[in-house]
Structure 1
């Protein structure tokens, strides 16, 4: 709570805002190409979905969110034709979330945009600083694996 004062800016906020800026460009491109139904939260589905399909429970665990929340994201994407739920051949009680051809198109657009976004960052801060940023973020990401 800030009691109406300006919110403090810290490293975590800056990293979140940087991600939001880059992700916003991806979402804008997706919308331009006819995929306006894809929202920021849906990246949790696309990012953690295996090529051979993934259960909602596994997606939720990977995204560190509730199963109910993930099921809602999957339902939205299913309603818009990006994913389907198919019986798991290894467990008849389970369903696998699978990309449809339209879902694969979304992944392809996002993947093709990555080099463009990275080039834009390098243009903004310089190639050496962009490479240093990549290395620093790699080290920082290891904090999650090693604990506080």
Structure 2
């Protein structure tokens, strides 16, 4: 079994705000993946959230998905291929660009999105139970403000 944290200069790397935010996301996302597996969608893995999260209801090209997810086109294409092989997405010609293909959710893909979205209130209630309703509201507001850092200059 691997260590929970990487080692640099003989010591575990320190935990900082970004690490804590990622670990919090991972804890919540893991609960979604467990529920998906319970509902028969064990082929969906953590990396696939990059597809589901950035896919428009009327379809999205792999290039656009990659750009939105801040990853390579090749990496995104591999994620899409896996989901396509398991029946969660399909590729169809883009009516606006004959050379491009749109990635679209299949009924199984829409079911995955529905399960994940239905779980959100339950997850938020679990967090509120841990930290209290007032701190939950503050956490929500603070994270929304932190997210704005990416859209502005330092």
Alignment of 1:41-120 (within 5 A): 41-120=47-126
Stretches of 4+ moved more than 6 A in 1? none
Which residues of structure 1 form unaligned runs of 5+?
none
1:32-79 per-residue CA deviation (whole Å, 9 max, x = no partner) reads 100000000100000000000000000000001000000000000000
1:130 paired with 2:144, answer no
* 2:12 counterpart SS class: coil
**2: CA distance, partners of 1:11 / 1:90:** 43
What is the aligned residue count? 148
CA RMSD for the aligned pairs?
Answer: 0.8
Residue in 2 that maps onto 1:22? 28
Alpha-carbon offset, residue 6 of structure 1: 2.3
**1: CA distance, partners of 2:8 / 2:138:** 33
Alpha-carbon offset, residue 147 of structure 1: 3.2
Which residues of structure 2 form unaligned runs of 5+?
1-6
Q: What TM-score, normalized to structure 2?
A: 0.94
Q: What TM-score, normalized to structure 1?
A: 0.98
Residue in 2 that maps onto 1:142? 148
